[in-house]
Structure 1
Amino acid sequence: MERLSHWKQVWKEDLGKVESPFFAVARVRSNLREGGDLWGAAALLKSCGLNTSRNLTEVQIARVLCSLEQGQWMLMRRRPVLPIDPKRYWYAKLCRSRVDERYWRGYNGPGKWKTLKIEMNKAVTSMAFIANFLTSRGDEGRVFLSSGKDYANTARTVTQQWVALRGDESEIARLSAIHPYGAVRKVTQYYVEADDHWSVTGASWHWRPVTADESYEFREE
């Protein structure tokens, strides 16, 4: 189905369905001359100060088409002849993403935790390095910080934010926990030697608790 949408109502993930201005202008010009029955045409005309699509003059049609040429309005198609290139058209860069927490902030809903930043805990890490350095002095011929144990018990904080799911993650929504979009959680990790089924020795040095850059939280049944 074809529809006309203001750029503020177009998701960044849907830009592949936006027709290029050249073909969009040709399609809308033809439609307006025939009465303007495209979905969203009434809103487009209203934004141009026109209340009807009947008996439009060529000057009025040109005014409407200017909105498509400038990118204020877009023609959405299931299979566009030539989808716009987001890198070429500046207005495409203004479209919001479904995972933009600034848009969703203030609402509750399904989502996932996405890492914003990782910061070292300087106090804890400094003390751990001092202790590890004193211990490593017994290892003759080994350079300090050349082994995982030299980083033992150092600490860092992972800050994550609750963001909306992408369109291709909609199946997860019905199982997801519900939190306010924009909510923040902090996870303190320690560098330790722990079980690792992927390691030949069965253990490795890594950050615990293990925290993915993007992690889902499912609601309790």
Structure 2
Amino acid sequence: MERLSHWGEVWKEDLCSVEDPFLAVINVRRNLRSRGYVREIEGVTGLLRSCGLYTSRSLTGDEVEMALRPVGTGEWMLLKKEPFLSIDPDRYWFARMCRSKSERERLVSAGFVDSGPGKWKIVGIRINKGASSAAFIANFLASRGDEGRVFLSSGKDYANTTRTVTQKWVALDSQERDFAPSSAIHRYGVLRKTIQVYVEADDHWDISGASWHWRPVIANEVYEFKGE
């Protein structure tokens, strides 16, 4: 799989998979001239946008050469599973500027990196006791009509109780690096809180088509993409 990435989105450890810019230009030129007829290299749209070029039509010869300039300087890198000749960092400034995964993770954990791509991770869940007490009382009174059933043995006994879920913006793990180019940017450590309500709602995984659960549904880790 071939992929074009801006140098700022390439780790130093991945430079062994970056094609030499001279050879990358040859590959990308061939792909740009054949747009619409061959499978486009992943990341081409981002390259064209960075050059202010149209992404939905064929390019003129001058436009192709304009798009190839940042590829030739190594500003945009062509990553391949098995490059013919890997980029030489001593010859290309952008390659020397690529960051190390381990160094970035150390800086993030030490608090020296303020913001960047990441994900929302649940760090706390708190039941709203005051607001939920009234719901429990109402549910208890309603359950008295269910003979032989122990209170709190059914999901409806928790109906309309609420809780607050706290999420923190944390850095992506090393294996999640591919999400970085499309990730939203927030300050690391910033918190957001969401109030959930326990209700009976649609559930396509349940045989009955509905189940009691917290809404809105929140995964333990949530990726936020640019523009969301």
The sequence identity of aligned pairs, in percent, is 62
What's 1:200 paired with? 207
* Residue in structure 1 matching 2:151, options 144, 149, 157: 144
Note closer, same or farther for the CA distance 1:136–1:115 as it changes in structure 2 (3 Å cut). Answer: same
- Conserved 8 A contact 2:128-2:162: yes
Q: Report how far residue 140 of structure 1 moved.
A: 1.1
Residues 1:170 and 2:207 aligned together: no
Matches for 1:115-130 after TM superposition, within 5 Å: 115-130=122-137
Amino acid at match of 1:196: D
Secondary structure of the 2:130 match is: helix
In the alignment, structure 2 segments of 5+ residues that lack a partner are 1-12, 14-101
Secondary structure of the 2:219 match is: coil
What's 1:218 paired with? 225
Cα distance in 2, alignment partners of residues 113 and 217 from structure 1: 8
What's 1:38 paired with? none
Cα distance in 1, alignment partners of residues 109 and 124 from structure 2: 17
TM-score, structure 2 as length reference: 0.52
Secondary structure of the 1:111 match is: strand
Q: Report how far residue 103 of structure 1 moved.
A: 2.5
Residues 90-133 of structure 1, C-alpha deviations (whole Å, 9 max, x = no match): xxxxx999399652466111100011111100111111100100
Amino acid at match of 1:161: K
Cα distance in 1, alignment partners of residues 203 and 186 from structure 2: 32
- Conserved 8 A contact 2:168-2:191: yes
Q: Report how far residue 209 of structure 1 moved.
A: 0.4
Amino acid at match of 1:174: P
Secondary structure of the 1:98 match is: helix
Residues 1:113 and 2:120 aligned together: yes
What is the root-mean-square deviation of aligned Cα atoms in Å? 2.4
Amino acid at match of 1:178: I
Note closer, same or farther for the CA distance 1:123–1:100 as it changes in structure 2 (3 Å cut). Answer: farther
Residues 1:103 and 2:103 aligned together: no
- Conserved 8 A contact 1:121-1:156: yes
Matches for 1:1-221 after TM superposition, within 5 Å: 98=105, 102-104=109-111, 107-220=114-227
What's 1:30 paired with? none
Equivalent pairs counted in the alignment come to 128
- Conserved 8 A contact 1:153-1:190: yes
Higher radius of gyration, 1 or 2: 1
Cα distance in 2, alignment partners of residues 156 and 107 from structure 1: 30
Runs (4+) of structure 1 moved beyond 4 Å? Answer: 99-102
What's 1:63 paired with? none
Amino acid at match of 2:182: L
Cα distance in 2, alignment partners of residues 104 and 113 from structure 1: 17
Secondary structure of the 1:145 match is: coil
Note closer, same or farther for the CA distance 1:126–1:100 as it changes in structure 2 (3 Å cut). Answer: farther
Residues 21-65 of structure 1, C-alpha deviations (whole Å, 9 max, x = no match): xxxxxxxxxxxxxxxxxxxxxxxxxxxxxxxxxxxxxxxxxxxxx
In the alignment, structure 1 segments of 5+ residues that lack a partner are 1-13, 15-94
Secondary structure of the 2:105 match is: coil
